Structure 1
Amino acid sequence: MLSANDKLNSLFQELEHIKEIYADLSAGSIDTNSKMPWTQYKQEYEKFGDGTDSSEFRAIQVELIEEVIYSIMEMLDGYKGLNFEADLIDKNTGESVIQNIQLHDGYREYIEAKKKGEYLNE
């Protein structure tokens, strides 16, 4: 059985995976040869890509997505005016995964540790 910490790491790993997918998608979309079937803003991406390095743009996207995820974690922690108390329950055990945990702090610690190379086994 997974510990609460393992479950949180699994959650953060999945969020990081989602972040990486969409940062790559967004950065790849500034290339004029990109097909971009997912966006209604193809011309805007192409215009933006004319003078922008895709790796620099990707770094901006990573930062933005991290902040969005952090804000969502704050909301789940009760800091954003949600009119009910949220929880994250393990369906197999019925236990709260976030009991006595601040998700936003945990996520920030996770991404900082990952940047330092402390989570290389993902």
Structure 2
Amino acid sequence: MLTEKQRLLFEKLKQIKDTYVDISVGSFHPQSNTKWWADSGEAYKLLRNKLSSEEDLEAITVIQNELVKTVIYHIMEMIDGYGGLSFEVDLIDKETKQSLRDGIEFHDKFMDYLYENEEDNKK
């Protein structure tokens, strides 16, 4: 069972994932005026020409969602102590001075949270 603060953290991470996947995929639409970061602008132009159907955009959405989920999962794994760092890290609630890791493995509980709260999993 998650504490309220753990749930809020996972909710915010999911919102970040959803927002940036939406922005990124939206930039592939031919009518999009979204300007992506300068370093990847040419790559977006190239892919915009290749990803033209709704099926293409759905496929890239799935791929990007999985990629971002995996990155967050591995960051959570690192915080849990499995990432190969030579030192331990933690997330501390500055108000209470308590670890948000208390009683959970971040990487597992984050994925559980996503499974329970992703629209695709509710079908």
How high is the TM-score relative to the length of structure 2? 0.83
CA distance in 2 between partners of 1:45 and 1:112 (Å): 30
Q: Give CA-to-partner distance per residue, 1:65-116, whole Å, 9 cap, x none.
A: 0000000000000111112111111111111111231000000100111134
Mapped contact 1:4–1:97 kept (Cα < 8 A): no
> How many residues get paired?
115
List gaps (5 residues or longer) in structure 1. Answer: 118-122
> Counterpart of 1:42 in structure 2: which amino acid?
G
CA distance in 1 between partners of 2:47 and 2:36 (Å): 17
Output aligned runs, 1:6-25, within 5 Å.
6-25=4-23
CA distance in 2 between partners of 1:60 and 1:38 (Å): 20
CA distance in 2 between partners of 1:25 and 1:55 (Å): 13
Structure 1 outlier segments of 4+, above 6 Å: none
> Counterpart of 2:39 in structure 1: which amino acid?
Q
Mapped contact 1:77–1:104 kept (Cα < 8 A): yes
Mapped contact 2:17–2:65 kept (Cα < 8 A): yes
Equivalent residue in structure 2 for 1:70, among 73, 76, 80 = 73
Q: Which residue of structure 2 lines up, in the alignment, with residue 31 of structure 1?
A: 29
| DSSP 3-state at the match of 2:35 | coil
| DSSP 3-state at the match of 2:39 | coil
